[in-house]
Amino acid sequence: MSAQIPLDNILAIEHLLSDDEKLARDTLRDWIRERYRPLLNEAHRNGTFPVEIIPEIAELGVFGANIEGYDCAGMNNVSYGLVMQELERGDSGLRSLVSVQGALVMYPIFAFGSEEQRQKYLPKLARGELIGCFGLTEPMAGSDPGSMRTTGRKDGDAYVLDGVKAWITSSPIADVAVVWAKCVDEDNKIRGFLVERDFGGVSTPDIEGKFSLRASPTGEIHLNECRVPLDNILEGSGGLKSPLSCLTQARYGIGWGVIGAATDCYQTVLDYGLERIQFDQPIASFQLYQNNLAEMATKIINMSLLALHYGRLKDSGSLSPIQVSMLKRYNVGSARKIASDARAMLGGIGITDAYSVMRHMMNLESVYTYEGTHEIHTLAIGRALTGISAFD
């Protein structure tokens, strides 16, 4: 029997990472294994998120980790990506909560808010004293957010918001929402608003019956004559490009995060194949099993190298939205295939939560769809390659 070579040794990127980047990754990996994993099966079965660990998550410095100042960790974008990877090695729902908090709530406040808004909200969001959510998607406006029906109209010292947002991560537990609405007083220009839970006319019902992201709070945002003070408009926002720039930040983190889910699936079936004996030999000795492992390992290495390369581009300020679409599309599609193959390789036990694979497989169905569906990213890349839009 030949010596077994760990996947990390074949990937061989340790020399490309700084000490700070490796420390960020390893700290999260240890915390996921020792603290989060023991809570996960019960949370997944019950369809709940263990909110009691939010202060611990905040102490790890992962909320808004790649933002400078305002009590944020100020990590570079490769460290941030490695953090997303380790969070999703645990569960996509955990990565989603952290990703939304940073990329979809803290980032728009940082990018489009006033200094007063930054000082008021960002430190509390970084410390986990406030939880945020992002209200863009609507029941009738998913891949076409420009068709949103939520409106804002100026009325004295406030804007009055009306509308419904759907499929909103963290809305049931959120203290503040970044809500996007068409301002009827500005020719339906899309603006961002900071909507606090205690404003009148706000409710956030749960979405029930989910088979995916079960250990993640998902709901809606209902706005009925909700009066939002003028001080809570994101003055720097304007047009659809503002929320789309936030989604670009989130998609970058997703591209890293799914590497963790894929790696966990791979490691699970590798260990299982070496331990499971059939026909008097480990099933890892069978050609078809080894073929699947080789395909998985190759995909994970490609995913990791793409993420690292684009992470360096992001840190240099040269990463484009189309490159982020490529990262999200390729890595999520690859992770989805890995999880599906891993489920089959576990046989019957693979449909239970005795192993993490089925949970990852279900979660990745959501990740495949949100922050721009796989198909929408395909068309965005096609438009970039040909100069012809398939949307029109």
Overall number of domains in the chain: 3
Amino acid letter, 181: A
Q: Does one domain contain both 381 and 246? A: yes
Q: Virtual CA dihedral for 266, 262, 24, 22, nearest 10 degrees? A: 50
Residue 184 maps to a domain:
yes
Cα→Cα distances 59→7, 125, 220, 258, Å: 30, 12, 28, 23
Q: Does one domain contain both 164 and 249? A: no
Q: Does one domain contain both 257 and 212? A: no
Residue 325 maps to a domain:
yes
Single residue among 207, 234, 261 that ends a domain in this structure:
234
Please write the tens of the pLDDT for every residue from 337-351: 999 999 999 999 999
Q: Does one domain contain both 284 and 369? A: yes
pLDDT at 267: 98
pLDDT band at 143 (very low <50, low <70, confident <90, very high): confident
Q: Does one domain contain both 115 and 186? A: no
| Measured distance CA(127)–CA(243) in Å, rounded | 24
Residue 2 maps to a domain:
no
Place of tokens 């569906």: 373
Cα→Cα distances 308→15, 297, 302, 312, Å: 12, 16, 10, 6
Please write the tens of the pLDDT for every residue from 82-136: 999 999 999 999 999 999 999 999 999 999 999 999 999 999 999 999 999 999 9
pLDDT at 144: 87
Q: Does one domain contain both 121 and 20? A: yes
| Measured distance CA(42)–CA(53) in Å, rounded | 14
What is the extent of the structural domain holding 29?
Answer: 7-126
Across the range 300-311, mean pLDDT stands at: 98
Share above pLDDT 90 across residues of the chain, in percent, rounded to a whole number: 96
Residue 391 maps to a domain:
no
Residue 13 maps to a domain:
yes
Please check the confidence at residue 3 and state whether its pLDDT lies above 80. Answer: yes
Q: Does one domain contain both 95 and 167? A: no
Residue 104 maps to a domain:
yes
Single residue among 81, 107, 126 that ends a domain in this structure:
126
Q: Does one domain contain both 84 and 210? A: no
Please write the tens of the pLDDT for every residue from 49-94: 999 999 999 999 999 999 999 999 999 999 999 999 999 999 999 9
pLDDT at 83: 98
Residue 392 maps to a domain:
no
| Measured distance CA(59)–CA(77) in Å, rounded | 19
Say how many Å lie between the first and final Cα of the chain, rounded: 58
pLDDT at 358: 98
Please write the tens of the pLDDT for every residue from 266-278: 999 999 999 999 9
Share above pLDDT 70 across residues of the chain, in percent, rounded to a whole number: 100
Q: Of the residues 21, 88, 138, 371, which is catalytic?
A: 371
CATH (domain of 357): 1.20.140.10
Q: Does one domain contain both 37 and 122? A: yes
Q: Does one domain contain both 82 and 165? A: no
DSSP H or E segment with residue 233: strand 233-234
Residue 263 maps to a domain:
yes
Single residue among 69, 101, 126 that ends a domain in this structure:
126
pTM of the model: 0.95
In the residue annotation, 196 being an active-site residue is answered as no
Cα→Cα distances 67→189, 282, 383, Å: 28, 48, 31
Place of tokens 């709901």: 219
Please check the confidence at residue 1 and state whether its pLDDT lies above 70. Answer: no
